[in-house]
Structure 1
């Protein structure tokens, strides 16, 4: 299918002070056709045209990775994850260097996170996705089906050959799903390309994956204010915390972001690969790191892993983290607390 996706840029000067010819102004762009999420780009530039150019670089980069990671659609001239999944059990196929690099990263992420982030979890995720899209039938995958699906989620079935840039799935029942890593990887690539093009001040917010570039070009401000959503939808304040950051990524994984309800129980999209069931240790986990792809990996892993194990992993990457538990109590690293505007030890 040849798909043409257009972007509508909503360019709004939002300065709280009078603009002059030598002052940057604040503009915003938004789109909702990539990665199944709503994305906003905020930037401080000298003109609307300049911002529009940077926003187009970001959009085009994210569109490129959206198509590479798509497991549902084909695109003319592109070998993507759907191509690999459709070829499961077959001969190796040649992929682009960009897709090969991502799959190498995905295999590294599996090792780094003790298997809690598994790009080969596709068979299990498909069962849950089928139930989510048919939530009115009030069912979840049965234990036998999940157990059978788990048999086909071994990361070793993903075979990469760097000498030929080829990929194959040795198990004909295996399938890949980039969901736990895709947005962070794409956002980081988009931020790098925009920065290389000259973009020095702005924020990309792709549905819980936030990438701050530089600092806001606003008088008396040297950091961006980023709100951390309250996982309690009944709370009067929709924000659990606000942090001050510059040139960093902030990624949150939460049980409130994508879910369905069966018999009064919420089933969200972050699955524990050891049980094939939604992880239930936390309501949300927020990770702050310089690299969005690492923050994305860690936010998923730390949502699944026990607190102490997750803390050790976070420390190994010098990441700052906020864990919110089921009873809305919280733990945070010292570095996170230093960025917080509202939480007190």
Structure 2
């Protein structure tokens, strides 16, 4: 669903705003350009691209490419895929390896066991035996290979791809490419609060991004200037969860234990590449207080802000110089 543009304008200093409902969340676009026809066409293009992207990349959307790949893997069959799909899978494999496979899009079956494949998140959680059986197979994206004929192979039938951990980052990167192709020089795209900037906000040096307080998501805990070409992504255990018999279960799962991650309440990562930022935010949250700095270094992350459940926080030196606590 696309909400119409607001504040039509004739000057570059006025913003055009639009909202798209896709990926199960709100996509907010803030665009600057002197020609409203150019803006309208760019928004329509992004809307169409995002709706198609959601269908193709949704892990349990029947008929999409990820669903077809998962069906082929489960049947022990190979499947022909496009160059762009292979490129993203291989990029995700590199990011997964750098994270010591804490970020791993091959764990779709585990996500389904926990009840997070669907629009309603609800219990009961899987039994210890179910988790143990899944861990004994330890499906991973690293089990996937390709041949010279662009055929995808998988050595583990238990692998089920779910790119919920970094597909929104890819969507952000693609949206910025689309805007650049439309000759738009200043814009901010937000997918459920994850953002990427194109150019700077006119008359200002940077876009200002607010970071939520995990204990009180309606309140802001910090602000962060975002410059052109940068993206910022937050992964949080407070965003998607369910309660079962008095216990709260987050959708962010540790592939090495089979259980929800609980080391941090949220992790915010700033990086030029939104796909990398998205993957790293998940990985650092799972890594927790003991290991996040090592994983950040391995993934090439210089700016990260991690909030514990107690409300205390840790951050990189580069992020400390950029972020302003409120």
Global fold match (TM > 0.5): yes
Mean CA deviation greater in 254-263 or 185-194: 185-194
Q: TM-score, normalised by structure 1?
A: 0.86
Report the equivalent of 2:12: 23
Report the equivalent of 1:83: 68
Residues 155-190 of structure 1: CA distance to partner in whole angstroms, max 9, x if unpaired? Answer: 267432251111133333331111111111121122
Residues 113-150 of structure 1: CA distance to partner in whole angstroms, max 9, x if unpaired? Answer: 00101111011100112698463xx5211111111123
- Output aligned runs, 1:190-229, within 5 Å: 190-217=175-202, 219=203, 221-229=204-212
Mean CA deviation greater in 177-186 or 88-97: 88-97
The answer as to 2:240 corresponding to 1:254 is: no
Instruction: Give the match's secondary structure for 1:256.
Output: coil
Kindly indicate whether the alpha-carbon contact (under 8 Å) linking 1:58 and 1:191 is maintained by their aligned counterparts in 2. Answer: no
> Alignment length, in residue pairs?
322
Residues 290-311 of structure 1: CA distance to partner in whole angstroms, max 9, x if unpaired? Answer: 1101100110000011335322
Q: Aligned partners of 2:37 and 2:3: how far apart in 1?
A: 11
Q: Aligned partners of 2:60 and 2:87: how far apart in 1?
A: 21
Q: Aligned partners of 1:340 and 1:172: how far apart in 2?
A: 44
- Provide closer, same or farther for how the CA distance between residues 23 and 205 of structure 1 changes in structure 2, counting only shifts above 3 A: closer
Q: Aligned partners of 1:318 and 1:158: how far apart in 2?
A: 25
Q: Aligned partners of 2:161 and 2:280: how far apart in 1?
A: 19
Kindly indicate whether the alpha-carbon contact (under 8 Å) linking 2:144 and 2:155 is maintained by their aligned counterparts in 1. Answer: yes
The runs of at least 4 aligned residues of structure 1 exceeding 6 Å deviation read none
Which of 207, 216, 223 matches 1:242?
A: 223
Which of 125, 147, 157 matches 2:132?
A: 147
Query: RMSD of the TM alignment (CA)?
Result: 2.2
Q: Aligned partners of 1:288 and 1:159: how far apart in 2?
A: 29
Which of 169, 172, 184 matches 1:187?
A: 172
Report the equivalent of 1:282: 264
Report the equivalent of 1:45: 33
Report the equivalent of 1:69: 57
How far residue 332 of structure 1 moved from its aligned partner, in angstroms, is 1.5
Residues 38-88 of structure 1: CA distance to partner in whole angstroms, max 9, x if unpaired? Answer: 11111112133222222233333333432331222344xx6x110011122
Q: TM-score, normalised by structure 2?
A: 0.91
The answer as to 2:82 corresponding to 1:96 is: yes
Q: Aligned partners of 2:121 and 2:24: how far apart in 1?
A: 18
Q: What are structure 2's unaligned runs of at least 5 residues?
A: none
Q: What are structure 1's unaligned runs of at least 5 residues?
A: 1-6
Q: Aligned partners of 1:62 and 1:152: how far apart in 2?
A: 34
Q: Aligned partners of 2:224 and 2:240: how far apart in 1?
A: 24
